[in-house]
């Protein structure tokens, strides 16, 4: 949430900053700004709206020219999106960009108002900018050290002090920040995507470490000004991964990447035909001894956890509770030593999921994170981490990250079931083999693009939609419904098909299209009965089922037929038409698919 970049080197700073912010726009896109040293003065340009608005403004009014500066793309928390509330904040002496939330901003503001400071914006960030100005005594490290003592909350900060025109200062607490290490140029950024074009080497800034970044040197110190030796990390994402590569939107590109990303995620975890999570520290012993399992996550990641629950419980016969992280953290959950808490997160930075992780650790549970971003907070702080290898996911609506999370849920369930002696080695190998076939089957499913496009054309004018299913199909329909509503702004609900009659069916009319997922053979008849019930009330129904399923015209208006696999694995295939339908509906409506209204990826605030 909110993206930060900083650059110092020989290139035109404004260009590098804007280019870097483009890579981070998925973190927030309601306003943007930069601050650049021009002839020793801090020059600021900022604008409400997308980065393109800032670019246009600079085209008309001129851009600051210099070689050292900071930039920001915002997702508003305190104060509406406006020019004034945009970052950078500060004055001619100190300028900052901030990601996170300052919890005690009110006290700081009152204190500084008493000292004669006048505030222009409604942001919490401005209080830090003014506090730094108040504390500044010519020594940036001492100033930042005092600030760390006084400020509560989460922050990643990029800072310019007028007296140091060739230097970026940076500090973080909870919100992520890296320092990119180039040749005669250095960077700061919220993640590695803006620096990949220039370098793969970077430092991960830890809590309260202060970075002093110049063109030809990077020094990291403690608040007590003791120098720290840091490990240089190497990013393994491709430069191309953060580009659209000819697709109209990142979302479409990412949907199409799913077969290869699933392959890259599962292949290293399969040995001699058996799931092998040992490299992530998940031993057979640990699985055998695990008691209850909690899966905690937000959004799409939580939906992957729902599928995980059904699969783990049915195969391994272990009790699984799935929780929304923002609920889990405040409901005083009954977890204890011996429980296994699995945290799923694409970004590895989601504030609520991170809080759930801390709580689980406090209560003595063993924590395992399933994370896509290497070195992220949740990945580092969980007892064990299983990395998914989706590469950078830029579209705010998650697609490939979901699929790879599902693939890990399956591998985990297979290995757990085997460790608990609930399935034989042969059965475990058979299931693993089928999972390995998913990428090829998915390539076939991706060919259903035109079918889904057609269905989308029938949904585009709907005001409200219903997604229904039973069992795994219900878990999947939750994700299908979220996908559609988040990017097309059409209201949609997912419902357990058998529960419809208990209230929600009263909403069904000919104006409410229904999408039914019916891939589970043992539940097929039941689901079809529910479909007939909505059809009888005028609804136009799309049924997503697998090859060989007999669905009459009296049941479905539109059919999407998937290649057949074992029922349990069908969610891996059925996710794709759901994603396509959401994508094409939003695209046909002319929505901003990759950057939907009000949303952001990497939600680092509660």
Q: Which is closer to ligand G6P, CB of 95 or CB of 280? A: 280
Q: Can you list the pairs that 545-550 forms with residues at least 24 positions away whose Cβ atoms lie under 8 Å?
A: 545/517, 545/518, 545/519, 546/519, 546/570, 546/573, 549/518, 549/524
d(CA 72, CA 87): 6
Q: Which is closer to ligand G6P, CB of 369 or CB of 519? A: 369
599 binding ligand G6P? (CB under 6 A): yes
CB of 71 to ligand G6P, least distance (A): 22
How many whole angstroms from its chain centre is CA 460? 26
Q: Which two tokens stand for residue 188?
A: 């700061």
366 binding ligand G6P? (CB under 6 A): no
User: How far is residue 210 from each of residues 101, 162, 163, 170, measured CA to CA in Å?
Assistant: 19, 18, 17, 6
Query: Within a 13 Å sphere around the CA of 128, how many CA atoms are in the beta-carbon half?
Result: 33
Among 300, 388, 403, 585, binds ligand G6P (CB under 6 A): 300
Q: Which is closer to ligand G6P, CB of 140 or CB of 299? A: 299
Q: Which is closer to ligand G6P, CB of 304 or CB of 465? A: 304
Is 68 assigned a catalytic role? no
d(CA 342, CA 296): 6
CB of 601 to ligand G6P, least distance (A): 5
Give residues 333-352 in contact with ligand G6P (rule: CB under 6 A). 345-347, 350
601 binding ligand G6P? (CB under 6 A): yes
603 binding ligand G6P? (CB under 6 A): yes
Binding mask 390-429 toward ligand G6P (x if CB under 6 A, else -) reads ------x-x-------------------------------
Please name the residues in contact with 402: beta carbons below 8 A apart, sequence gap of 6 or more.
300, 301, 303, 304, 479, 575
Q: Which is closer to ligand G6P, CB of 167 or CB of 347? A: 347
Q: Which is closer to ligand G6P, CB of 90 or CB of 308? A: 308
User: How far is residue 54 from each of residues 82, 122, 349, 364, 488, measured CA to CA in Å?
Assistant: 12, 20, 27, 49, 26
d(CA 93, CA 42): 8
Among 326, 353, 403, 407, binds ligand G6P (CB under 6 A): 353
Span from 189-197, 305-313, 583-591, 594-602 in contact with ligand G6P (CB under 6 A): 594-602
CB of 486 to ligand G6P, least distance (A): 7
Is 452 assigned a catalytic role? no
Q: Which two tokens stand for residue 397?
A: 């609506």
CB of 402 to ligand G6P, least distance (A): 8
Q: Which is closer to ligand G6P, CB of 147 or CB of 482? A: 482
Catalytic residue among 2, 298, 428, 452: 2
Cis? peptide before 88, omega within 30° of 0 = yes
312 binding ligand G6P? (CB under 6 A): no
User: How far is residue 39 from each of residues 55, 162, 229, 522, measured CA to CA in Å?
Assistant: 22, 11, 33, 73
Residue 602, phi-psi category: left (phi > 0), alpha (psi -120 to 50), beta (remainder)? left
Q: Are 462 and 516 in contact (CB under 8 A)?
A: no
Among 299, 305, 471, 513, binds ligand G6P (CB under 6 A): 299
Residue nearest to ligand G6P (CB): 299
Residue 300: name the closest of 16, 494, 457, 70 by CA: 494
Count, residues near ligand G6P per rule CB under 6 A: 15
Residues of this chain that interact with ligand G6P (CB under 6 A) are 298-301, 345-347, 350, 353, 396, 398, 599, 601-603
Residues annotated as catalytic (active site), given as ranges: 2, 601
């Amino acid at each position: 949430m909110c993206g930060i970049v900083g650059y110092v080197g020989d290139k035109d700073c404004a260009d590098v900053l804007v280019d870097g912010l483009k890579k981070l726009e998925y973190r927030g896109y309601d306003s943007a700004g930069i601050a650049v040293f021009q002839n020793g003065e801090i020059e600021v340009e900022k604008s409400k709206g997308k980065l393109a608005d800032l670019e246009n403004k600079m085209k008309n009014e001129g851009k600051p020219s210099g070689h050292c500066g900071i930039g920001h793309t915002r997702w508003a928390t305190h104060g509406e999106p406006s020019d004034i509330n945009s970052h950078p904040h500060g004055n001619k002496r100190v300028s900052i960009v901030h990601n996170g939330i300052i919890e005690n901003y009110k006290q700081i503001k009152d204190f500084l108002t008493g000292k004669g400071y006048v505030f222009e914006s409604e942001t919490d960030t401005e209080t830090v900018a003014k506090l730094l100005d108040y504390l500044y005594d010519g020594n940036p490290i001492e100033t930042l050290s005092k600030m760390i003592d006084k400020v509560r909350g989460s922050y990643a900060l990029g800072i310019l002090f007028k007296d140091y025109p060739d230097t970026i200062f940076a500090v973080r607490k909870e919100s992520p920040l890296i320092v990119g290490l180039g040749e005669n140029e250095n960077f700061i950024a919220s993640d590695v995507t803006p620096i990949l074009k220039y370098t793969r080497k970077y430092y991960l800034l830890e809590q309260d470490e202060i970075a002093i970044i110049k063109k030809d040197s990077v020094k990291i110190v403690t608040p007590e000004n003791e120098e720290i030796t840091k490990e240089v990390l190497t990013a393994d994402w491709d430069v191309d991964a953060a580009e659209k590569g000819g697709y109209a939107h990142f979302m479409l590109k990412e949907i199409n990447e799913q077969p290869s990303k699933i392959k890259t995620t599962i292949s290293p975890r399969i040995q001699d035909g058996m799931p092998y999570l040992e490299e992530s520290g998940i031993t057979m012993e640990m699985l055998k001894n695990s008691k209850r399992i909690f899966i905690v996550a937000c959004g799409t990641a939580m939906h992957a956890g729902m599928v995980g629950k059904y699969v783990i419980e049915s195969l391994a016969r272990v009790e699984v509770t799935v929780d929304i992280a923002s609920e889990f953290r405040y409901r005083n959950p009954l977890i204890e030593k011996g429980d296994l808490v699995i945290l799923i997160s694409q970004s590895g930075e989601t504030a609520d999921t991170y809080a759930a992780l801390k709580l689980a650790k406090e209560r003595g549970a063993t924590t395992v994170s399933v994370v896509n971003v290497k070195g992220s907070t949740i990945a580092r702080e969980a007892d064990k981490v299983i990395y998914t290898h989706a590469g950078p996911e830029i579209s705010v609506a998650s697609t490939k990250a979901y699929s790879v999370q599902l693939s890990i849920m399956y591998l985990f369930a297979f290995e757990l079931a085997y460790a608990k002696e609930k399935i034989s080695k042969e059965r475990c190998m058979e299931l693993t083999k089928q999972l390995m076939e998913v990428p090829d089957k998915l390539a076939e499913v991706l060919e259903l693009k035109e079918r889904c496009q057609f269905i989308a054309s029938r949904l585009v004018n709907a005001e409200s939609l219903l997604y229904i299913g039973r069992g795994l199909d219900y878990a999947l329909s939750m994700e299908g419904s979220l996908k559609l509503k988040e990017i097309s702004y059409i209201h949609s609900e997912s419902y357990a098909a058998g529960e419809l009659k208990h209230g929600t069916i009263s909403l069904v009319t000919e104006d409410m299209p229904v999408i039914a997922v019916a891939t589970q053979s043992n539940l097929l008849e039941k689901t079809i009965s529910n479909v007939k019930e909505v059809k009888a009330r005028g609804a136009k129904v799309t049924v997503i089922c697998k090859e060989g399923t007999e669905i009459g015209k009296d049941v479905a208006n539109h059919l999407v037929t998937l290649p057949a696999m074992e029922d349990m694995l069908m969610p891996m295939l059925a996710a794709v038409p759901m994603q396509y339908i959401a994508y094409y509906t939003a695209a046909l409506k002319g929505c901003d698919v990759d950057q939907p209204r009000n949303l952001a990826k990497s939600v680092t605030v509660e």
